Amino acid sequence: MPSIYIGVLVLLACILIARFVSEASLKLLSVEEKARLLDVFASMRKYNMLILFVIIVATFGAYSAHLIDVQLFNIAYISLCSIYLAFISVFSYRTLRKNNFPDQFIRKSVFATALRITGFILFMIVLFAA
C-alpha cells in the first residue's frame, strides 16, 4: 500500500476518534450549556471558513500564477494550515475557559483537538517522507 494511503488512513482515524471524544464531551453538558456553546462559537464558525478559504485561494493562486515553486508552495500551505490550527485551538480553549464551561468538558475538548492535530502532523510526515 502506498504511504500516502497510510497517511490518509491515519488522518481519518484520528479525526474519527476525535469525533467520538467530542460527542462524549457534549454529553457532559446540560441543555443550557449546549445552547451557550453554540452561541459562543457561532461567529467563530463563519470566520473560520473565511480564513480557511483565504489560505487555500492564496496559496493555490500563488502557485497557479507561478509566483512560487512547488517546494515553497508546500512550505507555505503547511505553515499557514498549522498556524490556523494552532490559532483556532488556542482561541477555542480560551473561549471555553472564559465562559466557565466544566473542566471535564474542556479536557475532553482539548484531547479531541490534540487528536486532530496529531493526525494532521502524522499525515504531513507521511506525505513528505514519501
Q: Render pLDDT for 83-110 as a digit per residue (tens, 0 to 9).
A: 988 999 999 999 999 999 999 999 999 9
Decide if 8 contacts 122 (C-beta within 8 A).
no
Same domain, 8 and 62: no
Residue 111 has pLDDT above 90, yes or no: yes
What's the rounded Cα separation, in Å, for the pair 43 and 27?
A: 23
What's the rounded Cα separation, in Å, for the pair 27 and 31?
A: 9
The Cα diameter of the chain in Å comes to: 52
Same domain, 82 and 122: no
**Which pLDDT value is given to residue 90?**
94
What's the rounded Cα separation, in Å, for the pair 34 and 101?
A: 10
Same domain, 109 and 81: no
Same domain, 49 and 87: yes
* Structural domain boundaries, residue 9: 1-28+102-130
CA dist 10 → 20, 44, 67, 118, 123 (Å): 15, 28, 33, 9, 7
